[in-house]
Structure 1
């Protein structure tokens, strides 16, 4: 009896609780629930998700039923961790990861498969009750790895040139150009997915405040000695108004209504962009000046939200100069070290042109907090996150996709060249472009029909204006006959007069707050026009549909399929799905108008709209055409959108050199957020007047900016030219035979030569959870210098890309990471890694380097991707190190890849033996050629001549699927 009692007691202690001096824990399926002895979290649940991942959920009460799984994660708890308890710590061990939880505090830490500590909660979870739309929520925060030296990447797409987020502040709130993905990947080879749909802050948990506002921490005195900024408003050269202003704040439409009457400029309606304010016809300037005295010493962080031309000076030195179209302002960051009690002179000079501006600020925080991993969300039900451990950063991203869904493959043609513009106004305009590309033998795979192909007063009809597109199906058929594809823009937006709106509204599928004013809100027609009417013609009332409502998703899909899809369009461009209801509304107003959704208040779901919207279309297209790969282009994204056959692009960026540079880190970090298919508007979307009007004094700069952007675009996952006037076709920008035209033609043809390499990278995104556009840190983790470089990246494992981002630059500094040697693509010169060089960058070429040991397959010169699916292959071997490549092929368009219908040809280069082995073909697919001409070209460090992918190799074989070995001559 005594023995049985002891066994029962041991079993009870092992399965249900631990010592009374600490908290207790209970085993549940796949994990445990801890009841900590102290702290704000009353329950902490840790569940296994496979061999390498855990989910941690902490709540301030005892009810996990209120905690939803959210929309990002599709995986379910899986695996049975080995659970043990020792001296107040419970350990959950999986094959490739371990979690430990302190029973007293409930704090959790993690180890990788080798037992190395990688992540630890630095503080207890923080909860603050909130009520929104009558529902109870929590503002939540969790900090990890306080004082860390690791690098952080991912977080979506942001526009401030930030590559490594260590020590940075990032707000995750969907906006045109800015994509929120609450996933971070660390140089410690783990990924953390913060499972929250609301607006979230990475870094400083305190939100930025208007500089000089109550509680901001800055004392501001104007040049006249009065509190606040001295604001001077000019019309032309005349000083119209001088006044003191506590803050600089014309951030949103309502704020602009406070503009001093005597300083208002005359305006005319805009003819371009999403511009409801119009354009000023009088020159305006505003200068804000002040002595700024901080209460704390340290690095003060400022964010200037602005459009039009702006400059910022600190103690007489210019620290910021930017331009952005006035209907799409955004933040520009600058940091200033300040000493408590010591004033600094700050001056902001702005040319408004009916634009927007605000200056916000945050005080310094201790370095240990600044250099930590911290997430703070405005609304949730719990501190809720997933951690996945791996051997490298690729593995961490693979773990993220295991949680949120594999990246669905795009059709092969998506990796060819796209021509687009804002916009083709008629059927003939669009067809003439495709015909001209074919006449000039310029490669092209996709032509894009942007918005307003409908009648202006009929937005949301999903129909074409027959006076301009008389035969839409015939147009699509001709595009197909010319061996191209066509994508069409569709919005989640409807005018109330359309039948589609009425059908959706009938089932509660419309955000009615977009058309219905609040009680007591102004009825002034000017106010209504600014706040509730769009920018088309006289301005129309409009509303978006609710994709959180499954019935609304069904109706939306049927409407676009029946009216447009059945005409034969090949892909969907889902524009403005942040959602961008109305440019220059405050975030609070956007969240209000997004409510109520079928799943709760818009503020609680704020960042998830693009995922739910895109996935609704993707899933229903698969039902409609089960064996055709859906393809969607979205202006926004969220965690998990890669599973929905969706690529994203960087939004309506400005056509400026700074913006070109910012796209590099934007694309890399979006890719490292687990979303591999990214693109951008080559040349930038919105232009300054000096470019739009083709001013002879500036046309050379405009052309060079386009050229440098085009060169960069050829080495991004998707290659797409788009923007506002002037026209973006290469023959419209530069005449045939000119250096610019010849360079763009060369990069077009180079892209298509590289299609076997590029499409293999695409196949790897599905089969190997690969990443096409890669931060240097992914391939060179031991090189600490590579962590922070924000203007270079890897394109696959072979190419180091160094875009040119300065006007008239004919060379640039390039860092070649340690851990590899490098070939200069343009000269053939050979360099050791771990050094910075001055690389030549002639007008016609961008610095490009190839890693030693690379195997790069190229194909024949073609004008569209499937022109020669069985064409000859040239294997380019860059000697100097061992190398491998696994050539991927399938039919390019079907869902067969999910069924194993593809081929792989493994290729190995042995440096010591001087042997290339082309291995036995693996797999098969419909239309596969049985024999293939393959030639091999070797590059040596002593060659020193430019790489030429148009040349065939000297060693040739007829490959029939059997292994063959080729020796280097």
Structure 2
């Protein structure tokens, strides 16, 4: 059977029955694959930037087989309707999965009408690589299958609250939730990168026998594949086609201070002045939720924040501190402008029940951030009430959005049903801020939710409202590394976790110290959390009716804790020149700030096995202590390098695992001998701390 195949200089397409298949060169050593049901082509960019014209692409057709060669990647569509991807050495890196029975030709022979006829296939399974099943709603449940290599290792995919770095043999939900951010790009140990470029709600299974992507409600398949000799090359290819982060401003590389909420400017100033007395230059201080009178009004509550323009000017000009403003995508039904949202159709719709998508301090509905007119309306309020008063940086909380119940099948957006496009919500929310702010190179937006391509809008993802426990802490180290490998170089956590934590609890104090030590060697050092006990509200109305938590400043946990945290703030200060270099690399190439060992040492097979240990850039190896009352841990040092312990100055040959002692004031920390000069100032600080008896 000869399929209807059309070719161009950089693509080929094939139509057969209910499918249009399009394969295009899309970036360096990469192809984009799209399948449209009922041959109805619809152009959607999703995570990808527009395709640029490419040279040196070869498309060859031979009967009902066709191949596209783009640099080191070769994509072949065979007579079985299966795509197979090869690297420059001719090795199979990825192959679609089919198990279909033989079909007879009109002349009675077997083969040309056969999708797959080989002895190792069970011909009765009737499984296709690209499968559409009608939902009887005008859309389809879609399943896309790939062959699985059991020994393959998979990294990336965003933020999931588990302890695994290698994601092989896991099942991941493709959806946003509080503390979960689906970013469906991964890097394989087999030398390729894969982007699932469909923003619908679904699931991926990385099983030993099969890799399977399932979408609950869609009408197309869209994925992108690239190859590279190293993980770094693969991630650079990905960043080229999805975008890179802006350049992190130097003044944001210090401590970001936050607690559950500062209720007045007086409370903010008390904290800033106390840091100033200690010689600490804060980067930001957060003005958190319910600084507004009603959700959806996007303005300061004048009763508690009567002079925001003056206050912001004082913070910036006198103290050099940037205020960080929290905004939510929620609208209270008693907000003064609720009717504007309702009449213009700017709110998320529901398919059943009462339209209440979250309830906190009133009945609330989410703004539909996928609607450009809704974004324009909200940004006009933000620009008038925040930007015009001097605000430069925003904190997009509840950005998943944070539904009270994650009934994804119940919500409808301007762009379609939640099931069909729900992962675009945080992307469009971020885009609103990025498009609205004038200086694109300075956009840094703290956000609770993300998706592929979010980095180009200045997304600083954080780990959400996680538990204040050693178990939650242990999940974060590998999670942060996978976020970086999914293409987001900026990532941070609430030091100490969000939920709970009492400043007088000795176990929590130890957790806070160990977490702070780790966060010192992360992209952003940020204190935040809902500490106990809560205080009484200031009043019984407006923003004053919200409680706040106990103090969460470095002095809130006693003299011993403060002494240790001050020590790490000095270390962070010494790190700034190095961090600036890493932020430039992220901006120019897409490199994560925190890197797995194999990212810099891809030929070291053992490095691919190591988790809960990472490199800050290419020079510093960090091995956090994540167990209660632990004072040592095993650390693997990558091969073909000499490593220097920054605390003892002892040198070790790489390629071995060593036991490292680490009292409560120390985090295991090593520098590559050949890179010692890049952190010379850090050596001096640690030497001084040791001499002072730390």
2:665 aligned with 1:844: yes
2:431 corresponding residue in structure 1 = 615
Question: Residue deviations 1:174-217, cap 9 Å, x none?
Answer: 1000100111111223211111111222216xxxxxxxxxxxxx
Does the CA contact (< 8 Å) of 1:48 and 1:79 recur in 2? Answer: yes
Aligned counterpart, 2:391: 569
Residue 58 of structure 2 aligns with which residue? Answer: 82
Q: Structure 2 length as normaliser, TM-score?
A: 0.88
Q: Secondary structure at the match of 1:176?
A: coil
Question: CA offsets per residue over residues 505-547 of structure 1, 9 Å max, x none?
Answer: 332111254xx963xx7xxxxxx9xx766232xxx11111111
Q: Which runs of 5+ in 2 are unaligned?
A: 99-127, 532-549
How far is the alpha carbon of 1:948 from its aligned partner? 6.1
Does structure 1 residue 128 correspond to structure 2 residue 169? no
Match of 2:608 in 1: 787
Residue in 1 aligned with 2:87?
112
Q: Secondary structure at 2:282's aligned position in 1?
A: coil
2:114 aligned residue: none
1: distance between equivalents of 2:19 and 2:444? 45
Partner of 2:625: 804
Contact 2:9 2:59 survives alignment (8 Å): no
Structure 1 match to 2:308: 472
Structure 1 residues 534 and 833, CA gap change in structure 2 (3 angstroms):
same
What's the counterpart of residue 508 of structure 1? 345
Q: Separation in 2 of the partners of 1:796 and 1:857?
A: 11
Give 1:610 shift: 0.4
In structure 1, what is the equivalent of residue 484 of structure 2? 671
Question: 1:46 aligned to 11, 14, 23, which one?
Answer: 23
SS at match of 1:815: strand
CA contact (8 A) 1:75 1:402 kept: no
| Correspondence 1:803-882 to 2 at 5 A | 803-857=624-678
1:265-321 deviation digits (Å, cap 9, x = unpaired): xxxxxxxxxxxxxxxxxxxxxxxxxxxxxxxxxxxxxxxxxxxxxxxxxxxxxxxxx
Aligned counterpart, 2:458: 645
Greater RCO (CA < 8 Å, at least 6 residues apart):
2
1:412 matches 2:250: yes
Give the equivalent residue in structure 1 for 2:360: 535
Q: Distance in 2 between matches of 1:549 and 1:620?
A: 15
Counterpart of 1:482?
Answer: 319
- Provide the C-alpha distance between the structure 1 equivalents of 2:681 and 2:73, rounded to a whole number of angstroms: 39
Query: 1:91 aligns to what?
Result: 67
Return the match for 2:209 from 357, 363, 368: 368
2:146 to 141, 144, 147: 144
Structure 1 gap ranges (5+): 1-20, 205-364, 522-527, 859-873, 878-936, 938-944, 952-969
For the 8 Å contact 1:765–1:771, the answer to whether it is kept is yes
The alpha carbon displacement at 1:89 in A equals 3.4
Residue pair 2:575, 2:681 contacting (<8 A) in 1 also: no
Q: How does 1:39-438 map to 2 (within 5 A)?
A: 42-63=19-40, 65=41, 67-76=42-51, 78-80=53-55, 81-86=57-62, 89-102=65-78, 104-123=79-98, 124-131=128-135, 134=137, 136-203=138-205, 367-369=208-210, 373-438=211-276
Instruction: Name the counterpart of 2:295.
Output: 459
Once residues 440 and 161 of structure 2 are traced to their aligned partners in structure 1, the CA distance between those partners, rounded to angstroms, is: 37
Deviation at residue 421 of structure 1 after TM alignment: 0.6
Distance 1:876 1:685, change over 3 A: closer
Q: How far apart are 1:396 and its partner, in Å?
A: 1.1
Question: How has the CA–CA distance of structure 1 residues 794 and 82 changed in structure 2, closer, same or farther, with 3 Å as cutoff?
Answer: same
Q: TM-score of the superposition, structure 1-length normalised?
A: 0.63
Secondary structure at the counterpart of residue 681 of structure 1:
coil
Tell me the CA shift for residue 742 of structure 1.
1.9
Contact kept, 8 Å, 2:135 with 2:141, in 1: the verdict is no
Counterpart of 2:495 (choices 659, 676, 682) is 682
* Pairing 1:23–2:23 present: no
* Alignment check: 8 A CA contact 2:27 2:241 kept: no
Worse-matched range after superposition: 612-621 or 491-500: 491-500
Secondary structure in structure 2 of the residue aligned to 1:395: helix
Structure 2 vs 1, CA of residues 129 and 657 (structure 1 numbering), >3 Å: closer, same or farther? same
Instruction: Write the distance in 2 (CA, Å) between the matches of 1:797 and 1:558.
Output: 43
Cα distance in 2 for partners of 1:768, 1:492 equals 32
CA shift in 2, pair 1:110/1:855, >3 Å: farther
Contact 2:130 2:145 in 1 (8 A): no
Aligned length: 642
Whole-angstrom CA distance in 2 between matches of 1:436 and 1:374: 54
1:48–1:78 contact (8 Å) kept in structure 2: no
Corresponding residue for residue 272 of structure 1 = none
Closer, same or farther: CA 122–628 of 1 in aligned 2, 3 Å: closer
Could you tell me which residue of structure 2 aligns to residue 702 of structure 1? 508
More strand by proportion, 1 or 2? 1
Q: Contact 2:181/2:449 (CA < 8 Å) preserved in 1?
A: yes
Partners of 1:77 and 1:99 in 2: CA distance:
19
Q: 1:686 to 1:121 in 2, by over 3 A?
A: same
Between Structure 1 and Structure 2, the one with more helix by share is: 2
Deviations 1:50-109 (A, max 9, x none): 33110111344333x2x342421123263252122357532211223221111x222112
Instruction: Quote how far apart the aligned CAs of 1:628 are.
Output: 6.1
Mark the CA change 1:533 to 1:107 in structure 2 (over 3 Å): closer, same or farther: closer
